[in-house]
Amino acid sequence: MSLDSHSSDPMNPGLVERKFKVIGSRVARPDGVDKVTGRARFGADASAPGQLVGLVLRSPHAHAQIVKIDTKAAEKLPGVKAVITSVDLPDYTNGDRSMLDILENCMARKKALYDGHAVAAVAAIDAATARKALALINVTYKILPHVTDVDEALKHTAPIIHDHIFTEGTPQKSEMPSNQNKHASYGHGDVEQGLKEADVVISRSFKTEQTHQGYIEPHSCLASVSPDGAAEMWVCTQGHFVYRNQCAILLGLDANKLRVTSSEIGGGFGGKTHIWAEPLALALSRKANRPVKLTMSREEVFRCTGPTSSTSIDVKLGVKKDGTITAAFAELRYHGGAFPSTWAELGAQTAFACYDLKNVQTISKDVVVNRPKTAAYRAPSAPMAAFAVENAMDEAAKAIGMDPLDFRIKNAAKEGTKSSYGPVYGPIGIGPTLMAAKNHPHMKAPLGKNQGRGVACGFWFNFGGQTCVDVNITPDGNVTIAQGTIDVGGSRASIAMAVAEELGVTYDHVRSTIADTSSLGHNDMTDGSRGTFSTSMAAIFATRNAITVLRNRAAKTWEINVDDVEWKDGSAHPIGKGHGNLAPLSLKDLAAGAGNTGGPIAGHAEITADNAGVSFGTHIADVETDPETGRSLIKRYTVIQDAGKAMHPSYVEGQYQGGAVQGIGWALNEEYVYGKDGRLQNAAFLDYRIPVCSDLPFIDTQILEIPNPNHPYGVRGVGETSIVPPLAAVSIAVTNSTGVRQTHIPMSPPRVLKSIQDAKAK
Amino acid sequence: MGVHVQTTINGDAVEFACGVDESLLDVLRNRVGLTGAKEGCGTGDCGACSVILDGRLVCSCLVLGAEMNGKSVETIEGMADGNVLHPLQQHFIDGAALQCGVCTPGFLMAAQALLRKNPDPTEEEIRFGLAGNLCRCTGYDKIVRAVQAAAKEMRG
């Protein structure tokens, strides 16, 4: 259908039931050929003339005062061009504590706060020289007592990591420094009263271990600061504008003097939303007056970037025999690594978001420990909360003799429900995904010996944020798009599809690229499942603005009023009486004549994309557990999720499958192992084992489409929700395969075996 | 100090000098200018640097550049026939078997090596044939399907 430009605001979602020509097809992505031929350039694939190799020296201690750093011998080594410590990164943060935390995480200042914390860095003519230089740096540490466990850190006997942290959010202002940086509470109704009304009360405690996003591409950047202070950086990131802004602040640069170009990104999942070594590369380059390439090793990636929180969660559910939930309560303790965070708060907000509850309360405690600064990991904090809550839901259903899926359907949130974290829901997909699960053939398939099935659901907010897009018509009548959100899984294709749909041309006429930070306004990063949602919205609005220009150009060409020009199927058409002899003007015609009608033809849109549309999913997992070894294997897995509108169904399926498998790895195997000395013991893919191809079956998917009224095509974010249910679904399946409630993630073979033996001993 | 090496890469005679401790991966990326093979771990655990050396699939991070004299190396850059993609490459694009794409060159080399040995693999044989390569984006579903589709096309 055509856009009726006469009546609608081009910057208004104006969601209508429509038949799409391009949206919903499975086109080839513009970066596909480059990625299958080795042409695509990732973070470590760029080089600059005269570049140096940057390397970072990291603390071997979990918690230590830095007494002295002697860099003289390293500086004297031939081939070494710069050595930096925190002295070379003065505090330009102007009282902004959160920025100072970022700076301190990039380079330790007075104390090393975790094993792997950067304390110095070098730039040298080659890697061998740089390695020698690192060995020549002499750091004198005074080792301090450390704490790496979230519950231990809250005890009064725990070493206090930061003197400046006092618990925020408690009713009474705390007098003493604490390892708990924040306290928060969410919910409504009266939980105590609800528990009194219950026939059955379920009370359980759960733990989850720390995991890493596990992207295959290590962090890498190429920084070049010229003597006049202008700088360029090539970097793998989920948000080059955010990297630009933060690095400019930390280096004391004006943002317009730092041009950041994003490389292709080899996975991020939240781990590339934070700056890590980029300010160090810039500082090294500034000191050496040469470009510096700084690429992390896999060991560094594990020791100092990424990981998610480890958690400790208590849940209490009050239930009536008819399946009514009278009370729901959870206390969630998450750590943010060595720096203050709000991860527990996110867990508290998401914990009961799937359900319609009269009395609900969640309490969050955010904690600091001597571990690397925690980063977002795909729907950050929600999987652990869902693990705890969904297990309690499963246990409650069994306690009252109700099918767990029917119990969830009875209590599912719906349009108009006041969510447990505050807002009232619009049209949502939790009920439909649960019903789809109930009706799925997977639920009727027989189970074999030692096999169990688990069902669980999950929620994620989704995010919109600041976005801008340029749509430019080339002189030959084709279309280029400059987008500023990083493409992590095919969004360039989806954005081009939206523009083609809007303009009424075919996909092969439209191509989208990621603009650098000097070529487009600020864009938030690709996080919160916002990439395709927000960028397609901005691209649609930009195209509508371009169509307005096109109609004006046609009006000028025909010498008629612009109100008498309609845009339809890729051409301008005259409407109204008296224009019958005017032939339509195609995009190609108008582009060719642009020089005589007012110059280049373009459309722009700058938006804050609000109301991303919350997302729900339900997963079904079948596992087989070997009672001799405790090892569990996934036998069958189904993901059902609401996409709002699937712009490119293959890429939506890919998000469902990828998130599910990350969750499966987390559920069954992945964990950070810390020794008593506070050092990470498994900083390698051999010992931190992510799922491989032979661990898995095909992952079935079912896409539901409950349109988001706040997007022109009904799109919701789809990237993150798929990691929320797996910890819960797989643990419930293992509970059913072993007959023992699983309360500690990951369910590695020794842990499951011990749970079986402990149950037998009772 | 450098070692002079004469070798064949993707059918071309190539000469380079490298240090005795330099991996084939570093030589390919830093000396020969072929950056298609990626370093994901440097310890042979992820397969992102996979190449075919004298017909055998190897992690190029675990092989020394100095050992390449007289050998034949196949990398992702040599997989397409001019501008015609190999069926594996085409099916990876058509079947959405890549998301970020950083593991893709390694998977394609591993799949190439597998199908040369076994043109008609079962699903299980594909899964074990590709078990040395890590992908964090896809959950492997569409990778396995793309290899199945390519194998079918290649068998004719």
Any chain B CB within 8 A of the CB of A719? no
CATH of the domain at B65: 3.10.20.30
C-alpha torsion angle, residues B27, B31, B36, B37 (rounded to 10): 10
Q: Tell me, yes or no, whether B81 lies in a domain.
A: no
What tokens does A303 get? 């020791």
Q: Which of A609, A624, A650 is the last residue of a domain?
A: A609
Stated pTM of the model: 0.97
pLDDT band at A5 (very low <50, low <70, confident <90, very high): very low
Share of chain A above pLDDT 90, in %: 94
Any chain A CB within 8 A of the CB of B8? no
Q: Do B130 and B97 share a structural domain? A: yes
Q: Do A112 and A252 share a structural domain? A: yes
Name the phi and psi angles at A2, rounded to 5: -95, 160
Q: Do A554 and A419 share a structural domain? A: no
Any chain B CB within 8 A of the CB of A153? no
Q: Do B94 and B56 share a structural domain? A: no
pLDDT on residue A175: 87
Q: Tell me, yes or no, whether A359 lies in a domain.
A: yes
Q: Do B92 and B44 share a structural domain? A: no
Whether A690 and B136 lie within 8 Å, measured CB to CB: yes
Q: Do A420 and A349 share a structural domain? A: yes
List the beta bridge partners of residue A459. A616
Segment A378-425, tens digit of pLDDT? 999 999 999 999 999 999 999 999 999 999 999 999 999 999 999 999
pLDDT on residue A4: 42
Whether A38 and B76 lie within 8 Å, measured CB to CB: yes
Strand A465-473 versus strand A601-609 pairing type: antiparallel
Share of chain A above pLDDT 70, in %: 99
Q: Is the peptide bond before A746 cis (omega within 30 degrees of 0)?
A: yes
pLDDT at A2 over 50: no
Q: Tell me, yes or no, whether B82 lies in a domain.
A: no
Q: Tell me, yes or no, whether A577 lies in a domain.
A: yes
Q: Which of B48, B76, B104 is the last residue of a domain?
A: B76
pLDDT on residue A611: 83
What's the rounded mean pLDDT across residues A725-747? 98
pLDDT band at A8 (very low <50, low <70, confident <90, very high): low
Q: Do B64 and B127 share a structural domain? A: no
pLDDT on residue A18: 80
pLDDT on residue A393: 98
Q: Do B51 and B15 share a structural domain? A: yes
CATH of the domain at A518: 3.30.365.10
Q: In chain A, what residues touch B47 (CB-CB under 8 Å)?
A: none
Q: Tell me, yes or no, whether A78 lies in a domain.
A: yes
CATH of the domain at A295: 3.90.1170.50
The Cα A127–Cα A612 span in angstroms is: 45
pLDDT on residue B1: 62
Q: How far is A718 from chain B (nearest CA, A)?
A: 14
The Cα B140–Cα B133 span in angstroms is: 10
In order of A50, A389, A716, the CA distances from A456 in angstroms are: 55, 10, 21
Nearest by CB to residue A698, choosing from B75, B133, B141, is B141
Q: How far is A221 from chain B (nearest CA, A)?
A: 14
Any chain B CB within 8 A of the CB of A126? no
Q: Do A280 and A132 share a structural domain? A: yes
Q: How far is B17 from chain A (nearest CA, A)?
A: 15
Q: In chain A, what residues touch B98 (CB-CB under 8 Å)?
A: 32, 35-36
Q: Let me know: does A454 contact A663? Beta carbons within 8 Å.
A: no
Whether A266 and B134 lie within 8 Å, measured CB to CB: no
pLDDT at A580 over 80: no
Q: Do B64 and B104 share a structural domain? A: no
Q: Do A109 and A56 share a structural domain? A: yes
Residue A299 has a CB neighbour count (10 Å cut-off) of: 17
Q: Tell me, yes or no, whether A117 lies in a domain.
A: yes
Q: How far is B128 from chain A (nearest CA, A)?
A: 5
The more confidently predicted of residues B83 and B1 is B83
Domain assignment of residue B26, given as a range: 3-76
Q: Tell me, yes or no, whether B134 lies in a domain.
A: yes
Q: How far is A91 from chain B (nearest CA, A)?
A: 34
pLDDT band at A461 (very low <50, low <70, confident <90, very high): very high
The Cα A438–Cα A432 span in angstroms is: 10
| Helix (H) or strand (E) run with residue A364 in it | strand A360-367
Q: Tell me, yes or no, whether A401 lies in a domain.
A: yes
What's the rounded mean pLDDT across residues A115-143? 98
pLDDT on residue A16: 67
Q: Which residue of A has its CA nearest to B139?
A: A658
| Coil/strand/helix, residue A626 | coil
pLDDT at A304 over 60: yes
Q: Do B66 and B23 share a structural domain? A: yes
pLDDT on residue B82: 93
Any chain B CB within 8 A of the CB of A28? yes
pLDDT on residue B64: 98
Q: Tell me, yes or no, whether A155 lies in a domain.
A: no
**What domain count does chain B have?**
2
Q: Which residues 18-57 in chain B show a CB within 8 A of chain A? A: 19, 21, 29, 34-43, 45-46, 48
Nearest by CB to residue A35, choosing from B79, B104, B131, is B104
The Cα A550–Cα A83 span in angstroms is: 56
| Coil/strand/helix, residue A194 | helix
* Mutation site, A36, A262, A661, interface B, largest B CB count within 10 A: A36
Q: Tell me, yes or no, whether A398 lies in a domain.
A: yes
pLDDT at A7 over 60: no
Domain assignment of residue A132, given as a range: 51-144+217-266+272-304
**What domain count does chain A have?**
3
Q: Tell me, yes or no, whether B55 lies in a domain.
A: yes
What's the rounded mean pLDDT across residues A674-679? 97
pLDDT at A14 over 90: no
Q: Do A576 and A453 share a structural domain? A: no
pLDDT band at A656 (very low <50, low <70, confident <90, very high): very high
pLDDT on residue A399: 98
Q: Do A603 and A518 share a structural domain? A: yes
Q: Do A319 and A418 share a structural domain? A: yes
Q: Tell me, yes or no, whether A726 lies in a domain.
A: yes
Q: Do A241 and A224 share a structural domain? A: yes
Q: Do A709 and A656 share a structural domain? A: yes
| Coil/strand/helix, residue A424 | strand
The more confidently predicted of residues A170 and A66 is A66
Share of chain B above pLDDT 90, in %: 99
How many residues are recorded in chain B? Answer: 156
B66-104 in b/e form (b: 16+ CB < 10 A) is bebeeeebbbbbbbbeeeebbbbbbbbbebbbbbbbbbb
pLDDT at A699 over 90: yes
Nearest by CB to residue A297, choosing from B35, B42, B144, is B42
Q: Do B98 and B40 share a structural domain? A: no
Q: Which of B56, B76, B96 is the last residue of a domain?
A: B76
Q: Do A409 and A526 share a structural domain? A: no
Q: Do A628 and A716 share a structural domain? A: yes
Q: Which of A609, A642, A676 is the last residue of a domain?
A: A609
Segment A214-236, tens digit of pLDDT? 999 999 999 999 999 999 999 99
Q: Do B144 and B108 share a structural domain? A: yes
DSSP readout, A45-77?
A: G---TT-EEEEEEE-SSSSEEEEEEE-HHHHHS
Name the phi and psi angles at B26, rounded to 5: -65, -40
CATH of the domain at B101: 1.10.150.120
Q: Which of B76, B96, B130 is the last residue of a domain?
A: B76
